[in-house]
Structure 1
Amino acid sequence: MGAFSRATAATRSRKSKAILSGAALVSATALALSGCASTPEGDGGTTPAEDLTLKIGTVLPQTGSLAFLGPPEEAGVLLAVNEINEAAKSIKIDLTPGDSGDADNKAFETTVPKLQSAGVSAMIGAAASGVTKLFLDSNVSAGIITFSPANTSPDFTTWDDDGLYWRTAPSDLLQGEVLGNLIAEDGHKNIGIIYQNDAYGTGLFGVVKEVFESTGGTVVADASYNDGDASFDAQVATIAAANPDAIVLITFDQFATIAPLLVNAGQDASNFYLVDGNLKQWGDQVSVNLAGAKGTTPGPVLSDDFQERLNAAWTADGNSDLTDFSYAAESYDATVLLALAALASGSTDAADIAGKLREVSGGTGDGEKCTSFAACADIILGGGTADYDGYSGPITFDENGDPTEATIGIFQFGDDNMHTRIN
């Protein structure tokens, strides 16, 4: 497979069906009280007559089957909040962190009402599409923005959300295509797929299957499980009986249990393919050698400087060093975009902010390019229109709140069960 390829899709309404295609670099073209009085400033909208205080909360996985994504995501938000507040550009962020948990432990059932009662304008999260689906309608009814750095289910593109749902992660229509093509280009003809039976798993399973079969390959067996299941013997037996030449594992941390079962059943771990939900630095947390296994996850290569700033902010808050940076950039950018949209609207009302999110991402086709909160804020405060390009990419929201440009990285595991980026 080439390092990059592109695809385009028509612009869609929130109630239309999206069809995207692409590979490693994909370009798809397609709350609270008002902060204060505002003053018109040129074509860029309004700028605040006094400093705004924007209340946001996080609903990110501190516990549950995606807990390994919590630290980098929370670090991304924390770093952005620190840098926005230090910039002193007429807006301050008041952050309240919270745990999303997963669909099994349901920590979000405590976090979301707490944040709603606290009067936040926006919640950043959840990471799991299945979790966001369980509270999104509640936030829409409450007039609060839900902004996920990691939701990838295609279902959100057409969700009836009153314009209050946004994400900096690309749809699985993109990741699924990259993964399906990667498996085919690696020479595999017959694959098995084990997937989690939720919005994330079923959506990604469907795309991978469709794309792989379009290359002439065959999905010889598939098996699903439910989040919270502890036994996977039946699923492993189904896959092993078909003797595929590669196995796709669309799971969260259940991978650590499933992988050894597959190896014990005679399957070669070097032919495993992972996804963003389980592509972590497994090390000794998995009892079999994963050397040669590959996986995909959204996100560009992060600069050393950005990773160092993330880690510094995270450890200064009393945490251990980061070992993973998945979705850190998307979380950082989500926070910056919310602040810029508030500044552009001169308001901390969720509807006003949502009305400016596409503009500050460059999705309206107007604006001056800028790559930091401070630089973008200066443009807005000067009466102009900012077009923010962040660490996760150009972003450029379409009318559905989806990013129209995204990078899907390809990773490979070594003998130490740690992965490195190969594309």
Structure 2
Amino acid sequence: MPSKKALSLTAMAAALALGLTACGSDGGGGGGEGDPLQFGYIFPETGDLSFLGPPQITAARYALQEINDAGGVLGQELPEVLTGDEAGDAAQAGDAADRLIGQDVDAVLGAAASGMTMAIIDRITDAEVVQCSGSNTAPNLSTYDDGGYYFRTAPSDLLQGPVLAETIVGDGHQDVAIAYRADDYGEGLGNATAEALEASGASVVAQESYDPNGTNFDAVVQAISNAEPDAVVLVSFEEGVQVMTGLIESGIGADQMYSADGMNDETLAEKVDPNDLGTVSGFKGTAPGVDNPEFEEGITEFDPELEVFQYAPQVYDCAIAIALAAESAGSTDPAVFVEDMTAITSGDQECSGFAECRDLLADGQTIDYQGASGPLDFDENGDVSVASIMIYGYDDEGAHSALDFVQTTP
């Protein structure tokens, strides 16, 4: 039964016809069949999620350097990655996508935020350009009609929600309130967490949405406080700091609060109370994350100034997987190598890193790429089938640390 990742016969025929007749053009959004593989990215260089930009941008460049150090893709060095800023703004993200498509990219890394991907996915996939995000987690992206061109190396919130719920219940909480931003990310993770909490025997005493673009969050703070929960989940980005400080003022302690990847910020303590960093003591959350010291050592050597690694392994895996798919297909045409994206994560020979996997392909082997973020095993929706979730927390001095790592599957 064909999946949403399978190209239709019509699309395949059109791609073949273009490949035969375009004289230097391919069936996808990139350059000619013999042209070097061209990457572009759309990451948050400014805006609410700008703290996610540096690790993702560095990871993309780190992966491309590794590929070029190994001789490039199909014997051709990759050109410098083309850039785009999603900036937390759908219109600006759309302009960035249009610009990259106009520059004949073969693959787009990003966007970082699920909402920004929803704003640009049609532009990218309709142009038959492969898109891979290392940080999109909204569940509705699994079944989105993307023509087979969208993949992600971050797990769906349907996997993260149960880990967050288990953490809350494991800490002894039973009456939980959820405040979530009214967008794809907030609704997806908020609902997944609520369902998992109730399945664990806890009660969801309030589930309140708020406008993430608002400037006053008193209403959601009051509604949560009135529900008298013993724990609160904040499915938030940077605006969650205002919600959190309001809840603290209402008498709810940081050690009763939990969040996810959107608030996994090493500078959170300074933002909540720069005069008392211990205010955030006991605050916990979950985020896709892996315990991979070797990768962190390598990317730190590449960029000694990088201090935060959130989603860096996942973005690196997007780039390496795309490069290996092109090697496997013998083509830098996205309409051709997209067919090998799943295959390079489900073959017979396990391998890691571009050079090792590329050499196995050259020897006629099928490969099972083991990523820096773990085994990918792309499914028919372009989702990873195995996920590693980090549980993070803050101590009495406001210092952030990883408390545990949990492996989870659907």
After TM superposition, the score normalised by the length of structure 1 is 0.85
Structure 1 gaps of 5+ residues are 1-10, 16-30, 37-51, 316-320
The 1:207/1:96 distance shift into structure 2, 3 A limit, reads: same
Instruction: State how far apart, in whole Å, the 1-side matches of 2:124 and 2:241 are.
Output: 34
Matched residue, 2:33: 35
Instruction: State how far apart, in whole Å, the 2-side matches of 1:378 and 1:369 are.
Output: 12
Matched, 1:67 2:62: no
Helix, strand or coil at the partner of 1:297: strand
2:317 to 333, 350, 353: 333
* 1:350 Cα deviation after fit: 1.1
Helix, strand or coil at the partner of 1:358: coil
Per-residue deviation, residues 266-321 of structure 1 (Å, max 9, x unmatched): 11111110101111112412216111111100121121x32232233335xxxxx2
Matching of residues 349-388 of structure 1 within 5 Å:
349-362=333-346, 366-388=347-369
Instruction: State how far apart, in whole Å, the 1-side matches of 2:113 and 2:2 are.
Output: 24
Matching of residues 69-148 of structure 1 within 5 Å:
69-89=52-72, 90-94=75-79, 95-103=81-89, 106-148=91-133
**Where do 4+ consecutive residues of structure 1 move more than 6 Å?**
none
Per-residue deviation, residues 181-215 of structure 1 (Å, max 9, x unmatched): 21112111111111010000000011111110112
Helix, strand or coil at the partner of 2:33: coil
Instruction: State how far apart, in whole Å, the 2-side matches of 1:13 and 1:182 are.
Output: 34
Instruction: State how far apart, in whole Å, the 1-side matches of 2:148 and 2:4 are.
Output: 8
Matched residue, 2:292: 302
Q: Is the 8 A contact 1:55 1:122 kept in 2?
A: yes
Instruction: State how far apart, in whole Å, the 2-side matches of 1:140 and 1:73 are.
Output: 21
Instruction: State how far apart, in whole Å, the 2-side matches of 1:371 and 1:264 are.
Output: 49
Matched residue, 1:7: none
Matched residue, 1:422: 403
Helix, strand or coil at the partner of 1:388: strand
User: Which range moves more in the overlay, 72-81 or 214-223?
Assistant: 214-223
Q: Is the 8 A contact 1:137 1:161 kept in 2?
A: yes
Q: Is the 8 A contact 1:75 1:311 kept in 2?
A: no
* 1:259 Cα deviation after fit: 1.3
Instruction: State how far apart, in whole Å, the 2-side matches of 1:108 and 1:182 are.
Output: 34
Per-residue deviation, residues 364-408 of structure 1 (Å, max 9, x unmatched): xx2311111000111112222222101100101111111111111
Matched, 1:154 2:139: yes
Matched residue, 2:263: 278
1:348 to 319, 332, 345: 332
Matched residue, 2:155: 170
Matched, 1:208 2:193: yes
Instruction: State how far apart, in whole Å, the 1-side matches of 2:270 and 2:364 are.
Output: 54
* 1:12 Cα deviation after fit: 9.7
Matched, 1:396 2:377: yes
Please give the root-mean-square deviation of Cα atoms over the aligned residues, in Å: 1.7
Amino acid at match of 2:378: F
Instruction: State how far apart, in whole Å, the 2-side matches of 1:391 and 1:141 are.
Output: 29
Helix, strand or coil at the partner of 2:136: coil
User: Which range moves more in the overlay, 292-301 or 89-98?
Assistant: 89-98
Helix, strand or coil at the partner of 2:109: strand
Instruction: State how far apart, in whole Å, the 2-side matches of 1:218 and 1:159 are.
Output: 31
Q: Is the 8 A contact 1:78 1:313 kept in 2?
A: no
Q: Is the 8 A contact 1:34 1:347 kept in 2?
A: no
Matched residue, 1:28: none
Structure 2 gaps of 5+ residues are 6-27, 405-410
Helix, strand or coil at the partner of 2:241: helix
Instruction: State how far apart, in whole Å, the 2-side matches of 1:215 and 1:383 are.
Output: 48
Q: Is the 8 A contact 1:224 1:235 kept in 2?
A: yes
The 1:170/1:416 distance shift into structure 2, 3 A limit, reads: same
Q: Is the 8 A contact 1:54 1:121 kept in 2?
A: yes
Matched residue, 1:241: 226
Instruction: State how far apart, in whole Å, the 2-side matches of 1:117 and 1:184 are.
Output: 50
- The count of corresponding residues between Structure 1 and Structure 2 is 373
* 1:144 Cα deviation after fit: 1.0
Helix, strand or coil at the partner of 2:341: helix
* 1:13 Cα deviation after fit: 4.0
* 1:323 Cα deviation after fit: 2.5
Helix, strand or coil at the partner of 1:54: coil
Percentage of pairs with the same residue: 37
Matching of residues 44-63 of structure 1 within 5 Å:
53-63=36-46
Instruction: State how far apart, in whole Å, the 1-side matches of 2:109 and 2:174 are.
Output: 40
Instruction: State how far apart, in whole Å, the 2-side matches of 1:109 and 1:14 are.
Output: 24
Q: Is the 8 A contact 1:279 1:295 kept in 2?
A: yes
Amino acid at match of 1:171: S
Helix, strand or coil at the partner of 1:93: coil
Amino acid at match of 2:31: L
Matched residue, 1:217: 202
Structure ranking higher on relative contact order (CA contacts 8 Å, 6+ apart): 1
Q: Is the 8 A contact 2:269 2:280 kept in 1?
A: no
